[in-house]
Amino acid sequence: MRETVYVLGGGQTRFGELWGKSLSDLIREAVDSAITNTKILPTDIDMVIVGNMVGGETAEQAHLGTFASSLLPHHPPALRVEAACASGGLAVHTACAFLESGKAETILVIGAEKLTDVAGDIVTSALMHAGDSEKDLPSGLTFPSIFALTATAYMHRYGLKREDLSLVSACSHRAAVKNPYAQFRKEIPAATISKSPLVADPLRLLDCSPISDGAAAIILSMRKESPVHIAASQLANESLSLIDRESLTSFVSTRTAFQSALKEANWNRNDIDCIELHDCFSIASLLHLEDFGFAEEGQAIRLFRDGDTDASGSLPVNPSGGLKACGHPIGATGVKQILDCWKQLTSQAPNQVVNATHAMAHNLGGVGATCTVHLLESI
């Protein structure tokens, strides 16, 4: 980072099937909560950035930057950014650029999505617009089936068993019990996950992050009014379609963003005390941990088997409950991850990692086509 960007804090709605709340309601609630929690004057916000993917298709509302700016008395400059499920992380990354450019001093970053007001087939179609409309969509692929392809390739190559995959989701569900904002706050044994309904072989219902509504908001500022700052903000890409990839079991975007982030922050991998990563499907967590280099290829499952990934383990992964158990309101996820990292670094997390000073948020768009990595540090 050319300049130091501080995370002043934020707030979020509960994630879930929030049938009584519109997209506008969710944004209002998250913004109110962020302003209340950080005690910032609304007029000190000089820019608004919203991460959202399908507001037009599922909530009849595009132009969401301006919608959110309209909630503030002085209507500061505003924009919406989108990179599918990485829209939230992208909003944070874009905010860092605006802050570093000198165009803004304090930015309200919002991630929001409302998915449950329309039928499941409409949501599934809209989310598939994250893939390549010419290469992927005509084949009938959906995101569960795309990640099922990666899972099949991984299991074939490394001999992973169906029962192993369930350990990943079980870890997230175990963590979410304590998180009041999580969609599912119930421990689910691995055996139950393995027997849940088949979605796209080998992925079962409880391998998949759910369809969720929710919003999260954070305040980023050049003002040194927080012990937490962003040590690195990286965005990396790969081909949009899986068809053009060399590997089905590794995402170049994750590798690039992570290595660039370590370099930017001048950290090494082992400095990281806790990780919020993009577990949209159970298989994804294994791919990411190997792309980060925390495990050899085909070996990441050992981290779950040995309890390393629990909040009390040696490499806490998704102590919030992750996408799997917190829910995954697309554009909200990446912003909520930063909020969860901030909570860890200010000792306010529901599953507090002891003495956490270095945290990472990893957000993915499409099947690894876009990736953001943020490293946060407390002083």
Q: Give the rounded distance of the alpha carbon of 259 from its chain centre.
A: 18
In the range 82-101, which residues lie near a second copy by CB under 8 A?
A: 82-84, 90, 93-94, 96-101
Residues 49-78: x where in contact with a second copy by CB under 8 A, - otherwise, as a string: ----xxxxx-xxxxxxxxx-xx----xxxx
Q: Does 45 bind a second copy (CB under 8 A)?
A: no
Task: Please tell me whether residue 131 binds a second copy under the rule CB under 8 A.
Answer: yes
Which of 300, 296, 301 shows the shortest CA–CA distance to 164? Answer: 301
Shortest CB 116 distance to a second copy, Å: 16
Please choose, from the candidates 292, 63, 188, the residue with its C-alpha nearest in 3D space to the C-alpha of residue 300.
Answer: 292
Stretch that binds a second copy, among 9-17, 29-37, 151-159, 361-369 (CB under 8 A): 361-369
222 binds a second copy (CB under 8 A): no
Determine the interface stretch with a second copy among 19-27, 156-164, 284-292, 298-306 (rule: CB under 8 A). 19-27
Distance CA 4, CA 146 (A): 38
124 in contact with a second copy (CB under 8 A): no
Long-range contacts at 126-133 (CB < 8 A, ≥ 24 apart): 126/53, 126/54, 126/57, 126/58, 127/53, 127/54, 127/84, 127/330, 129/54, 129/57, 129/84, 130/53, 130/84, 130/85, 130/365, 130/366, 130/369, 131/240, 131/241, 131/366, 131/367, 132/240, 132/241, 132/243
State which residue, 134 or 355, has the beta carbon closest to a second copy: 134
Q: Give CA–CA dist 147/168, Å, rounded.
A: 15
Cis-peptide into 202, omega within 30 deg: yes
71: Cα separation from own chain's centroid: 25
132 near a second copy, judged by CB under 8 A? yes
> Which of 173, 229, 328, 358 is labelled catalytic?
328
**Residue 328 designated active-site:** yes
Tokens 């980072």 found at: 1
- Does 103 bind a second copy (CB under 8 A)? Our answer is yes
Q: How far is the CB of 3 from a second copy (least distance, A)?
A: 8
By beta-carbon proximity to a second copy, the closer residue of 212 and 378 is 212
Binding-site ranges for a second copy (CB under 8 A): 2, 22-24, 53-57, 59-67, 69-70, 75-84, 90, 93-94, 96-103, 125-126, 128-134, 137, 235-241, 244, 252, 365-366, 369-370
Q: Which residues are catalytic?
A: 85, 328
